[in-house]
């Protein structure tokens, strides 16, 4: 079957577009072809978008999905690759980005029907036409202040805290928050691979997104949860989607509807913003606090290189501790940072502990790092702690030493005095 001309293609596409849209392609077109509906689409997270782009390619090529697959009946044949190259070289009325996504849809269709195309087929280099939005806290605050309901306020702070992608927002549930999250200063959100890029298949099987809420994001989520429960007249369930419509029957937000929400907010506030800008906001803060690349990838839900299953509870707590350093950079809803009681208590206790360590180090002329090491040691090896050099001693000799009880009288006669008695029975003396 010959490829249609550009004019014929444009006419066909316009005609078909009157019937098939992205909103109805899954009902009106995809079910006609098992190769699309059964073999391919179940593996995709964003089904309607890619099904529509693939539909457009089929119209351009004047072929059905089975006819496209027939081009690969002979494994050595490159007719399918040549067809895709012809598409990318054509001057259709498509933006470069739409053409790129269409190529991705075609390649994905062939892949899941076990007919992989050559890697070079349909290559398009995307060049960014506009610079990324350089967001400031004042811009995000303006965006947040122009929301109309608790859900949208929670959405803004949630994404600017967690870096969760738009397609994942459509599926995240209350059960993905850690247990008793409302009582935790920076609650953890632990997302499985199935909700992330790659959907847990192949090299992505071990990917998880381990991310956290800032205190202000937690505050907005609590307010939204209480508001939603009043609207629904019931408590939310762990399997309920977190972000849903603001009216009955409170269906989960879709990829398209979330795009419309952010478009409306951006237009109302006069602030250019996309959900991907929020991911860049979090990544920038991670870089500013010196977060190691693998940890930053965990927070963004990307493949971690050279590390096996780094998602134990100690690892999560360690990551949370580092995330706290980024909180002042991430929060934006007010001039003053939002500090929870738990965070304030922890910081005060740490400050007090640090002062005590400094006092001990000063009293016994011991480097503070050695005191910290001894405090962390399970054996509490205080004797090794006190065996230190005496660069600060005025006479250049040891100003402290550990002696037995038998040695004590001689040293006392020389001007030493007792500083401490160790659990072992030995005695610390100093000049």
Q: What is the mean pLDDT of residues 106-119?
A: 91
Residue 264, preceding bond cis, omega within 30 degrees? no
For the segment 256-265, the average pLDDT, to the nearest whole number, is 89
Mean pLDDT for 92-108 is 85
Q: Is the pLDDT confidence value at 164 over 80?
A: yes
Is residue 296 a contact partner of residue 281, using CB atoms and an 8 Å limit?
no
What mean pLDDT is predicted for residues 198-206?
65
Task: Tell me the HSE value of 378 on the side-chain side, using a 13 A CA sphere.
Answer: 0
Rounded to 5 degrees, what angle do the CA atoms 196, 201, 206 make?
Answer: 70
**Nearest-10 Cα torsion for 175, 274, 149, 228:** -10
- pLDDT tens digits for range 361-419: 776 666 676 666 666 554 445 555 555 444 445 444 456 778 887 888 887 877 777 77
User: ω into residue 249 within 30 of 0, thus cis?
Assistant: yes
Which residues, including other chains, have CB under 8 Å from residue 88's CB and lie 6 or more apart? 99, 103, 122, 123, 124
Phi-psi region at 61: left, alpha or beta (left = phi > 0; alpha = psi -120 to 50) = alpha
pTM: 0.57
Cα gap 27→7, rounded to integer Å: 28
Domain range annotation of the chain: 6-112, 137-330, 341-379, 389-431
Q: Tokens for 101? A: 């996504």
Residues with Cβ within 8 Å of residue 17, at least 6 apart in sequence: none
Count how many residues are written for the chain. Answer: 431
**Residue 209, Cβ density class (10 Å: 0-12 exposed, 13-18 middle, ≥19 buried):** buried
What number does CATH give the domain 137-330?
Answer: 1.10.443.10
Tell me the C-alpha to C-alpha distance, in Å, between residue 134 and each of 179, 208, 396: 36, 28, 57
pLDDT-derived band at 6, boundaries 50, 70, 90: very low
């Amino acid at each position: 079957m010959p490829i249609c001309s550009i004019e014929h293609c444009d006419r066909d596409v316009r005609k078909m577009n009157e019937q098939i849209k992205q909103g109805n392609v899954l009902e009106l077109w995809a079910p006609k072809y098992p190769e699309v509906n059964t073999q391919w689409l179940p593996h995709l997270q964003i089904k309607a978008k890619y099904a529509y782009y693939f539909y457009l390619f089929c119209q351009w090529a004047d072929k059905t999905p089975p006819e496209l697959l027939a081009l690969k009946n002979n494994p050595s044949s490159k007719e399918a690759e040549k067809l895709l190259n012809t598409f990318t070289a054509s001057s259709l009325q498509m933006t470069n980005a739409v053409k790129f996504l269409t190529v991705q849809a075609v390649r994905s269709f062939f892949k899941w029907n076990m007919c992989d195309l050559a890697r070079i087929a349909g290559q398009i280099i995307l060049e960014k036409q506009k610079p990324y939005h350089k967001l400031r806290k004042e811009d995000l605050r303006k965006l947040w202040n122009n929301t109309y309901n608790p859900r949208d306020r929670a959405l803004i702070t949630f994404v600017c805290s967690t870096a969760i992608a738009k397609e994942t927002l459509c599926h995240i549930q209350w059960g993905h928050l850690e247990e008793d999250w409302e009582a935790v200063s920076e609650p953890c959100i632990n997302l499985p691979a199935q909700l992330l890029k790659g959907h847990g298949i192949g090299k992505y099987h071990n990917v998880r997104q381990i991310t956290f809420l800032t205190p202000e994001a937690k505050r907005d989520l609590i307010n939204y949860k209480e508001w939603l429960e009043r609207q629904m007249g019931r408590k939310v369930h762990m399997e309920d989607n977190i972000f849903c419509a603001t009216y009955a029957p409170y269906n989960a937000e879709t990829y398209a509807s979330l795009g419309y929400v952010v478009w409306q907010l951006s237009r109302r506030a006069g602030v250019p913003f996309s959900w991907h800008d929020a991911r860049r906001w979090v990544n920038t803060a991670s870089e500013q606090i010196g977060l190691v690349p693998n940890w930053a990838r965990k927070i963004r839900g990307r493949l971690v290189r050279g590390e096996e299953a780094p998602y134990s509870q100690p690892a999560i707590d360690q990551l949370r501790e580092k995330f706290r350093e980024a909180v002042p950079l991430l929060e934006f809803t007010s001039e003053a940072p939002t500090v929870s009681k738990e965070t304030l208590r922890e910081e005060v206790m740490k400050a007090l502990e640090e002062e005590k360590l400094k006092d001990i180090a000063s009293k016994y002329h011991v480097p503070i790092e050695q005191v910290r090491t001894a405090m962390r040691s399970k054996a509490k090896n205080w004797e090794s702690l006190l065996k230190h050099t005496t660069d600060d001693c005025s006479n250049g000799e040891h100003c402290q030493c550990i002696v037995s009880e038998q040695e004590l009288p001689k040293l006392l006669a020389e001007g030493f005095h007792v500083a401490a008695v160790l659990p072992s029975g030995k005695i610390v003396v100093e000049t």
